[in-house]
Structure 1
Amino acid sequence: MKYVIINDKKYELKDIPQDTPILWVLRDYLNMTGTKFGCGVAQCGACTVLLDDKAIRSCSTAISEAIGKKITTIENKDDKELKALRIVWKEHDVAQCGYCQPGQIMNASALLKSNKNPSSDQIKEAMNGNICRCGTYNKILKAVSTVAKG
């Protein structure tokens, strides 16, 4: 049986075409709408989720690539990095319109999972490609730095 694990819960992939992007499986089949559709061509980062703790663009990654693997979305309430990032995001008043923020937080989470104490340059490099139309990049940098410093 084909399955994926999303936010620590196992889902069987019945009647879902294997070339369906993860984004649409999450939103249309599972009603998890925290992950946003932005550009549809993996350029803006709004759709970022984690696949085995690595940031991916869910709009362009087929569900077949996730079979037997772990997907983490912004809806995950138990993930240590996500919890810390959500708290600091509020403290630093990062979000303006908020549309890109789930993708920003997910990308930051992937960074912190692989590098517990990134430098400012490493944060900028890792977050490059997650577009924020409101321009809150300095607040994002401060928030991620705050979490990294503990």
Structure 2
Amino acid sequence: MSLEESTPSAPEVAREAVLVVDDERPLLEVFAEALGTRFDVTTATSAREAEFILRKKNFKVVIADHLMPGGNGMSFLVRAREEYPHMQRVLVTGYMKPEMLLRSVNEAALFRYLLKPVSVVELVNVVVEAAKLHDALVKVAADDVS
């Protein structure tokens, strides 16, 4: 028996899944690259594509741009909250109007919103915090069941 055969390999740690939705491919690529060192990142270029992806895989955090052709990020995040309540939602926007802020709290229950231009350091920190909250909420829900 060789040394390689007798030494158990370290178990591969599953990385936390994050979905990034933005119609601007260069920004989508920057976000995916920044998050990719720490998370399993999936990208979508529209709310419709993102909704399809959500049915195929579980995500801890979704980050969505507000203004996109064919539907806005806020409406997408409101729908996502209804179907995936533990998944944390982050909105990226160029400007947060008072009525949009109210909707973000009341309807989308955003974890956070980020104003453009978004610093990649801030983005990563927000997603790390959101993933931790996701895990805490899932644990509380599991404890309530048992």
Q: TM-score, normalised by structure 2?
A: 0.26
Q: What's the TM-score once normalised by structure 1's chain length?
A: 0.25
Larger gyration radius, structure 1 or structure 2 = 2
Q: Please state which structure has a larger fraction of its residues in strand.
A: 2
Q: Select the structure that is richer in helix.
A: 2
Q: Which has the higher contact order (CA 8 A, sep 6+)?
A: 1
